[in-house]
Amino acid sequence: MKVDIIMPKMGESINEGTIIKWHKKVGDEVKKDEIIYEISTDKVDTEIPCPADGKLVEIKAYENETVPVNEVVAIIETDADAKIEETKEEDEPSTDQIGSVVDVPMPKMGESIFEGTIIEWHKKVGDTVKVDEIIYEISTDKVDTEVPSPVDGTIVEILYKKNDVVEVGKIVARISTKSGYRKVKSEKEEIIATEKLKESKSEVKTQAATERKIRDKKNSQSNKFFSPLVLNIASKEGITMGELESIVGTGISGRVTKKDILNYIDKKGTKQSTPAPELSVARPITASEEIPMDNIRKRIMEHMINSRDTSVHVTEIMEVDMTKIYNYIKANKERFLQNENLKLTYMAFISYAAVKALKEFPLVNASISKDKILLKKDINLGIAVAVEPNGLIVPNIKNADEKNIRGMAKAISELSRKARTKGLSPDDIMGGTFSITNYGVFGALFGTPIINQPEVAILGVGAVVKRPVVISVNGQDTLGIKPMMYLSLSHDHRLVDGLLGGKFLKSIKDTLQNFDVGSI
């Protein structure tokens, strides 16, 4: 029986994942729960186990390819005796040589990328290739990149030539591996393939004609490559081919990228608007190093921008006297650690107080869907965890309202451990209703956190610091030293206004300042 392996959903707002490594190749035997590939999303990098024992018979998505959630990325065959069925004519052989054929598609390099231009072939038909060996380069409006071979084998067909524009997902080449058989195309299939190839070529004919016109018009004799996007921008902005040649490119092999030409246009516009020439003054060049973002950092960036553009952020801040909890932790910390192997921290008490406030003000435990308010019946408390070297993930404690201080402390400790060891499951990340971020652990006093979509509020926790405060003794004001903490609540003003946000934050403050330590 064939079993589909799909791209898992790693969070409520996660709609796609990028395959960063395959641990198995086609033909390999796999065991249930054995790691077969790794993925990266905007919240987590994780390893995906095999759902059953069997043999990996097909890989549909390759390394560095971005795949929508629930789309099939591979297929395994669980029946060891299963045979691949082939329909063939009685008098015609179904194969012509040893070697199963693997399609090499134009990869999807981003959510808004629908085509790419082949800018260089590193291999030709008949060449042998190794897995992960670079076989061709592509250019899109966002990135130039090299595309590796998905398997070991021999290139038997190249469907598009250099400078052809190809839609994402279309097959650009085929590789024959060293086992199995290659299916022979029937006459009908050959005709269909030829027609499709003609259609593909006609689609890019207009683009190619435009490029030729620009080259002819500028009388350029250069062999330097410019992507269709760059040429299109140059045509619209009246940039000559000579000017294009003068632009210093930052892409692969010094190619001019979209960013390069737009920067040139901005500088050119500034120069043209200057009424009088300025004296050339030598200025020191600031040394800098361009470091590409890794996948998880790009996803975090997109997630933060989406939240900024979705929610109307408002932040309220209150100061909390943590004397009672400070004294309790100081007196009982070692006892909890020795007797229960439990690290008692402020976060357990703050989380408990937040859950109590959420039950009192359920609108803060909600989300917005168009013009509807979705009140959540469960309280799933998200705890932001920093992951080295520069990641951030927000797993959540399911049914947090059912836990006491001890249960809350254990749950927080377990989630933090799993986050830092890549042990989180999709269930740990999905379904959060309210989040807490503790920037105080780094010594920050307060901040204005960004809401974790699709939630409507997030609580920020500052460091507990001893400060002089005014206290009343026998009706007289005097100064005293107390452990103080700032709490900040960022909330979505579309649903949570200042009154509700203030009441919610005040409830947490009152619970912490008057905590019944005898109930622990």
Tell me the DSSP string of 281-310: ---PPPP----PPPHHHHHHHHHHHHHHHH
Q: Which two tokens stand for residue 319?
A: 């100061």
Q: Which residue in 53, 103, 497, 510 is the catalytic one?
A: 497
Q: Establish if 419 belongs to a structural domain.
A: yes
Return the HEC string of 223-240: CCCCCHHHHHHHHHHCCC
Between CA 330 and CA 483 the distance in angstroms is 12
Coil, helix or strand at residue 339: helix
Distance of alpha carbon 381 from alpha carbon 400, whole angstroms? 6
**pLDDT score at 91:** 40
Q: What is the pLDDT of residue 82?
A: 64
Position 224 in a domain: no
Q: 412 and 494: one domain?
A: yes
Residue 301 lies in a domain: no
Q: Which domain holds residue 152?
A: 117-159
Confidence (pLDDT) at 43:
65
- Same domain for 344 and 426, yes or no, is yes
* Residue 493, domain member (yes or no): yes
Q: Which tokens in the block code for residue 203?
A: 């689609």
Do residues 72 and 121 share a domain? no
Residue 253 lies in a domain: no
pLDDT the model gives residue 321: 96
Q: Do residue 52 and residue 149 come from a single domain?
A: no
Are 8 and 154 contained in the same domain?
Answer: no
Q: What CATH number has the domain bearing residue 64?
A: 2.40.50.100
Q: Is residue 449 part of a domain?
A: yes
Q: What is the mean pLDDT of each successive set of 10 residues along the chain, which is 520 residues long? A: 86 78 88 87 77 89 83 87 48 45 82 79 90 86 75 89 89 75 44 51 47 44 62 81 81 72 79 47 67 79 90 96 95 91 93 96 95 94 85 90 94 90 82 94 92 95 94 89 96 96 97 89
149 and 8 assigned to the same domain: no
Active-site annotation holds for 303 = no
319 assigned to some structural domain: yes
Q: What phi and psi values does residue 272 have, to the nearest 5 degrees?
A: -70, -30
- The CATH number that applies at residue 339 is 3.30.559.10
If asked whether residues 380 and 435 sit together in one domain, one would say yes
Domain C-terminal end among 102, 133, 159: 159
155 in the same domain as 6: no
Q: What is the pTM of this model?
A: 0.52
In a domain, 111, yes or no: no
Looking at the structure of the chain, the number of domains it has is 3
Residues 448, 499: one domain? Answer: yes
Distances, alpha carbon 363 to alpha carbons 43, 307, 348, in Å: 26, 19, 23
* 313 is a catalytic site residue: no
Kindly state whether residues 373 and 435 are assigned to the same domain: yes
Q: Are residues 51 and 125 in the same domain?
A: no
Catalytic residue among 45, 216, 493, 510: 493
Residues 478, 362 share a domain: yes
Among 77, 100, 126, identify where a domain stops. Answer: 77
